């Protein structure tokens, strides 16, 4: 099943948002990570960093990447089908 133009645009916008989110996280770690590491120590910072990763995986909050992507595509597909019917 081929994607429509609107679905493709929606999917690309989602991918761009994901990359910008990752770039923002990397910039934040670059700016503040060294200071936090100095305060917490190497092991404390490592534990804090890994705990953050575990929490992000276990409780993704409002929207995980995979869920957002599939929900956006389903919603775009529903709107397109509704427009065709109308």
Please give the helix or strand (H or E) that residue 53 lies within, else none. helix 42-58
For the chain, give every domain's residue range: 14-85
pLDDT in tens, 13-57: 888 888 898 899 889 989 998 898 999 999 999 998 888 888 777
**Cα–Cα distances in Å, from 53 out to 1, 14, 42, 80?**
35, 21, 17, 37
pLDDT in tens, 67-84: 555 666 677 777 777 777
pTM summary value: 0.51
Give the list of residues 6+ apart from residue 26 with CB closer than 8 angstroms, or none. Answer: none
Give the list of residues 6+ apart from residue 65 with CB closer than 8 angstroms, or none. Answer: 18
């Amino acid at each position: 099943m081929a994607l429509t133009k609107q679905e493709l645009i929606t999917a690309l916008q989602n991918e761009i948002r994901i990359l910008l989110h990752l770039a923002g996280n990397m910039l934040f770690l670059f700016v503040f990570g060294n200071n936090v590491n100095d305060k917490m120590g190497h092991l404390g910072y490592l534990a804090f960093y890994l705990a953050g990763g575990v929490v992000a995986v276990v409780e993704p909050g409002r929207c995980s990447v995979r869920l957002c992507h599939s929900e956006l595509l389903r919603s775009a597909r529903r709107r397109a089908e509704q427009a065709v019917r109308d």
